[in-house]
Structure 1
Amino acid sequence: MERPRRTEQKQRRISPQGSARERVALLRAQRRRRWRWLWVTGGIVLLLLLALAGAGWLWQTVAGMRQPDLRPAGTVVPTNAVFRQPFTVLLLGVDRRPDGSEGVRSDTLILAYVHPTERWASLLSIPRDTVATIPGLGEQKINVAYSYGYQHATELYGADADPAAAGAALTAETVAQFLNIPVDYVAQIDFAGFERFIDKLGGVVIDVPYPVLDSSFPTADYGYERIFIPAGLQVINGETALKYARSRHGSSDFERARRQQMLLRAVLETVRTRGVFEQASLLTALIDEARRSVKTTLPIDDPAALRELMTLAQTIDSQRIATFSINPREVAIVAEIGSDIYWNRRDVAAMVERLRAGPRINAEQARIQVLNGTPVNGLAARISRALANANFQTLPAANTDRRETTILIDYTGKPATLARLAGHLGLPASQVFASPPDDAPPQPLGADIVLLIGQDYDPAWAMAP
């Protein structure tokens, strides 16, 4: 009697028509079961995908999502290097009005940094009001890059240039220059396609931390509507997911960036827990929708690269996705003219180092002590407070022998935090030590990393972000 009941439970599916409470409960139950046998079924699914790709079905289906990379040849990653080392993908949410009256613009910019061998990723949101240098145009809001590239495709990239590919290319060039990090690939999705994708997935499970109220949410017919999304664990459909990701009235662009990152993680987790890769019909429907709405320079027309991507999608746990954003709490604003925001370049560089370190920084829990080797009273304490405000874990500051040169020493092996701190301070490699040099002072009690301040210190180090 027990065995048939278990079989019936396994065959239960999540119905989009069911109540949110029922669907969440069922997803939780499925999640507990799936984690136990994910690795077994993952191998079976991968074999299925290999067979499909070998037969040409999956490969031919997703190949339509590939768009050319119009940037200079030196910026394109060789196929044989794909997914063997960390790579970046610029994620663009594109707003296209149905009648085209307001042009096309990128409303969402997120840079993903993926570490394929360690199976983790990190996301960095860039506010659309950020001022950056757009090649050929000069200083403008960063989201102008897409619309300018789209509208001037042939002028910028040649007579046969596709407008969407040109918009993506110019945005990638702009972001790479602004963050001083290569942008290897671009993936863009229009908002209507995003909404349909979520609906075909059967909704997304998300735990909304607090209510979202927006009395002036823009509609497609240029009007406004009032939206309200309650707090709590729930299943949201495509329309609500899009509103959750785009609403900015009643909060801020920075809060919106955080919600977008939460939603991306929720989509990944829902894909995993729903067993999308186990359901050929659902997988086909999702890929068909993606082909209509997504364009990317990722080499998905290469069967080997496609198989690598499928493996990554199955094996990166949402808990191993670190999220960051450029925001006033962690990055100083140099100037704000109207809605245009000019960010402190040193703080932006430090944020990029956090992006590269990903979730490893949180795992390290490194403790930093600042030692003052200058005659300036209280300098180490002020720098220590500034580091704490930048989300470093600091110990009480102290004094040390006078010294000319500032150095940074890792005593206990905390490479991710060391790299982030060195980037935050702008220290050259010659002043950063992954292990104590011969003339290093004894390790202070409880400290993992020590910053020895010398006469060459930068006064900006003592300024809170």
Structure 2
Amino acid sequence: MAARRAARQPTRRFGCGPRLMGVGVGVAALLVLLLLIASTWARGTLQRIEQNDPRQASAQAQSGAAVASLQAPFNILLIGVDRRPDLIEGVRSDTLILVHVDPAAGWAGMLSIPRDSVVNVPNVGLQKINTAYAYGFNHAEEIYGPGTTPEAAGGALAAETVEGFLGLKVNYIAEIDFQGFERVVDTLGGVRLNVPRPLLDPAYPSADYGYERLYVPAGLQVLDGATALRYARSRHSSSDFDRSRRQQQVLRAILAEVRARGILNQASLLPALVEDLEQSVRTTLPLGDLNTLRGLADLAQRLEPDRIVQLSINPNDVAVVQEIGSDIYWDQGDLSLLVARFLAGPEGSTEVARVQVQNGAGTPGLAGRVTEHLRSQGFVMADATDALVATEQTQLIDYGSHPQTLERLAALLQLDGRSVHRSPPPDAPAAPYQADIVLILGSDYRE
């Protein structure tokens, strides 16, 4: 086991900058493609694409919750699935992207999850996160009961795994297989892509389970479905994190193509696209519900480029605690910070600070209770601990520059100005490890 950055705090880069990407992201592409179906007369297609979520008690409960949730923020897990019928290794998920949508505020975000991330998979234990879909697919009825389809079970177990890993609820699941991805791109006539640097992969997996050479030159070009898929999936040309960036770039290019060509108004293309999606897409979004379709249509029309946030789990934002071969173990504290940034939205603060509560009041369990209370209010919390010395006055100390978090804490805890320090006072304890703001509870603190 190789430990990385164990002796220092990991680098954190939460500025919006390049993460506020132009012309859409995966969620918008998915919504637009689903709207292509919804805008046609093929109601039967909607029913074939929609599938029940085996995590729900019943299809009726699922549908009822769905309509309400399209008025409030919700999360969709996008799963890219390699399910060739002759696949020797079995069906597997190759891409996992969590999409967060806030309909009222009119913004969306996308968080890419590397497939080599080691997580706790329900019913399995610690495994790479892409194990979840395959295990659910192969044990559908064993996990979720008689009548559960392999695709539904694979998506459901992947969603449960992501929920445990990120601490976020996955409301809906959307799966697309790679052959369908190719067909959609070809039906659109290809996608225009500006490749920033040449991509050379001498060992790209071929359809006959061998390897082939892949080369995509730099520059603006139109990629067909097969090339776009290879560009998005290649792993040997660079890192898995660059691969996540390329996947999101291709999704954005698809949406740009749909918008630029006015596909929704080209009746001649709709039947072909509907057929592509019918063969390749499965989702738990209640597409048969008229209110849901109206909500999706409204979202697709209102999503603007500057209202879309793009993030990924990568070593710049989340420290790698251990790496064993290709297995990656992420720092959970840093991951919590990234999730907080993900939920903050385009107008949210780029400031994400970890808060530690220290018990200087001598009241047993006080720091732990306050920590849980602050966590429930959306703050990112470090483990509670005892203060070095007992104190009478409660102190809130910022060890960096986190004015917005400091202000929120002071208001919530109703602390006056004498207790709030924008920088450490001369008698303040040394800065704690992996905490940005410290709340020292004194004997004057009242729960």
Question: Does the alignment reach a TM-score above 0.5?
Answer: yes
Q: Retained in 1: the 8 A contact 2:341–2:350?
A: no
Distance (whole Å) between structure 2 residues aligned to residue 159 and residue 366 of structure 1? 48
For the residue of structure 2 that corresponds to 1:300, the secondary structure is: coil
For the residue of structure 1 that corresponds to 2:275, the secondary structure is: helix
User: In the alignment, which residue of structure 1 is the partner of 2:133?
Assistant: 146
Structure 1 unmatched runs, 5+? 1-45, 371-401, 423-428, 444-449
Give the aligned residue type for 2:210: G
2:269 paired with 1:282: yes
User: In the alignment, which residue of structure 2 is the partner of 1:206?
Assistant: 193
For residue 47 of structure 2, the aligned residue among 58, 63, 70 is 63
User: In the alignment, which residue of structure 1 is the partner of 2:79?
Assistant: 92
TM-score w.r.t. the length of structure 1 is: 0.70
2:143 paired with 1:156: yes
Give the aligned residue type for 1:325: S
1:323 to 1:452, Cα distance in 2 relative to 1, 3 A: farther
User: In the alignment, which residue of structure 2 is the partner of 1:19?
Assistant: none
For residue 240 of structure 1, the aligned residue among 227, 233, 244 is 227
Question: 1:365, CA displacement in angstroms?
Answer: 6.7
Distance (whole Å) between structure 1 residues aligned to residue 167 and residue 402 of structure 2? 29
User: In the alignment, which residue of structure 1 is the partner of 2:434?
Assistant: 460
For residue 247 of structure 2, the aligned residue among 260, 263, 267 is 260
Distance (whole Å) between structure 2 residues aligned to residue 124 and residue 215 of structure 1? 29
Give the aligned residue type for 1:460: Q
2:115 paired with 1:137: no
User: In the alignment, which residue of structure 1 is the partner of 2:207?
Assistant: 220
Question: 1:404, CA displacement in angstroms?
Answer: 6.0
Among all aligned residue pairs of Structure 1 and Structure 2, give the percentage whose two residues are the same amino acid. 49
Distance (whole Å) between structure 1 residues aligned to residue 140 and residue 314 of structure 2? 31
Per-residue Cα deviation, 1:212-253 (whole angstroms, up to 9, x for no partner): 111111111011111111222222111111011100102011
Question: 1:405, CA displacement in angstroms?
Answer: 4.1
Question: 1:316, CA displacement in angstroms?
Answer: 1.4
- More deviation in 288-297 or 68-77? 68-77
Higher helix share: 1
1:137 to 1:273, Cα distance in 2 relative to 1, 3 A: same
Distance (whole Å) between structure 2 residues aligned to residue 129 and residue 49 of structure 1? 34
2:58 paired with 1:80: no
Question: 1:338, CA displacement in angstroms?
Answer: 1.8
Distance (whole Å) between structure 2 residues aligned to residue 344 and residue 151 of structure 1? 30
- More deviation in 229-238 or 216-225? 229-238
Structure 2 unmatched runs, 5+? 1-34, 356-391, 437-447
1:157 to 1:439, Cα distance in 2 relative to 1, 3 A: same
Q: Retained in 2: the 8 A contact 1:60–1:301?
A: no
1:161 to 1:408, Cα distance in 2 relative to 1, 3 A: farther
Give the aligned residue type for 1:68: N
2:87 paired with 1:111: no
What root-mean-square deviation, in Å, do the aligned CA atoms of Structure 1 and Structure 2 show? Answer: 3.6
1:123 to 1:228, Cα distance in 2 relative to 1, 3 A: same
Q: Number of aligned pairs? A: 364
Distance (whole Å) between structure 2 residues aligned to residue 348 and residue 412 of structure 1? 19
2:423 paired with 1:439: no
1:209 to 1:406, Cα distance in 2 relative to 1, 3 A: farther
Give the aligned residue type for 2:130: N
User: In the alignment, which residue of structure 1 is the partner of 2:29?
Assistant: none
For the residue of structure 1 that corresponds to 2:285, the secondary structure is: coil
Q: Retained in 2: the 8 A contact 1:49–1:307?
A: no
User: In the alignment, which residue of structure 2 is the partner of 1:229?
Assistant: 216
Q: Retained in 1: the 8 A contact 2:67–2:291?
A: no
Give the aligned residue type for 1:438: D
Distance (whole Å) between structure 2 residues aligned to residue 264 and residue 440 of structure 1? 51
For the residue of structure 2 that corresponds to 1:90, the secondary structure is: strand
Distance (whole Å) between structure 2 residues aligned to residue 342 and residue 365 of structure 1? 25
Give the aligned residue type for 1:88: N
2:171 paired with 1:184: yes
For the residue of structure 2 that corresponds to 1:64, the secondary structure is: helix
Q: Retained in 2: the 8 A contact 1:408–1:431?
A: no
Give the aligned residue type for 2:78: L
Question: 1:291, CA displacement in angstroms?
Answer: 1.2
Higher relative contact order (CA 8 A, sep 6+): 2
2:184 paired with 1:197: yes
For the residue of structure 1 that corresponds to 2:126, the secondary structure is: strand
1:73 to 1:366, Cα distance in 2 relative to 1, 3 A: same
User: In the alignment, which residue of structure 2 is the partner of 1:341?
Assistant: 328
- More deviation in 282-291 or 310-319? 310-319
Q: Retained in 2: the 8 A contact 1:95–1:190?
A: yes
User: In the alignment, which residue of structure 2 is the partner of 1:384?
Assistant: none
Per-residue Cα deviation, 1:108-152 (whole angstroms, up to 9, x for no partner): 000011121222211111111101111111111110000000000
- More deviation in 114-123 or 153-162? 114-123
For the residue of structure 1 that corresponds to 2:237, the secondary structure is: coil
Q: Retained in 2: the 8 A contact 1:97–1:220?
A: no
Q: Retained in 2: the 8 A contact 1:206–1:263?
A: yes
For the residue of structure 1 that corresponds to 2:288, the secondary structure is: coil
Q: Retained in 2: the 8 A contact 1:413–1:435?
A: no
Per-residue Cα deviation, 1:400-431 (whole angstroms, up to 9, x for no partner): xx98644569x9996xxx4xxx9xxxxxx984
Question: 1:259, CA displacement in angstroms?
Answer: 0.9
2:287 paired with 1:306: no
For the residue of structure 2 that corresponds to 1:207, the secondary structure is: strand
Give the aligned residue type for 1:316: L
1:249 to 1:69, Cα distance in 2 relative to 1, 3 A: same
